[in-house]
Amino acid sequence: MTLRALAKRVDISAPFLSDIEHNRRNTEKLPIIAEVLGVDLKELRKFDTRLPAEVKDWISTNPEIVDLLKDMQASGHTPAQLRSSFTRRK
């Protein structure tokens, strides 16, 4: 399916859909896009790599988090491995 065909089926413009595809915009139509594409909405949301506003705020008020993230990246562990190490301590 072309971008224009999908945009028409979802009733949005092709440029707007392109912006969604490139993480420049968000839309309430994401459930409809998932349905038209025949994919699970939760799986489709995984492609949204933008940081939520509350996470941006948390990072801006705690700048040491950036160094922590760099250390986590340098560790070579996968996100699943890091998450596992946090949950084992509880």
Q: What is the pLDDT of residue 11?
A: 96
Q: What is the pLDDT of residue 85?
A: 86
- Whole-model pTM above 0.75? no
Ranges of residues in the chain with a pLDDT under 70 are 88-90
Same-domain status, 65 and 34: no
Average pLDDT taken over every residue of the chain: 91
Q: What is the pLDDT of residue 90?
A: 52
Domain of residue 67, residue span = 53-88
Question: What residue ranges in 17-79 does DSSP mark as E strands?
Answer: none
Contact (CB, 8 A) for 31 and 41:
yes
Same-domain status, 62 and 84: yes
45: Cβ contacts below 8 Å, ≥ 6 apart: 30
Same-domain status, 13 and 41: yes
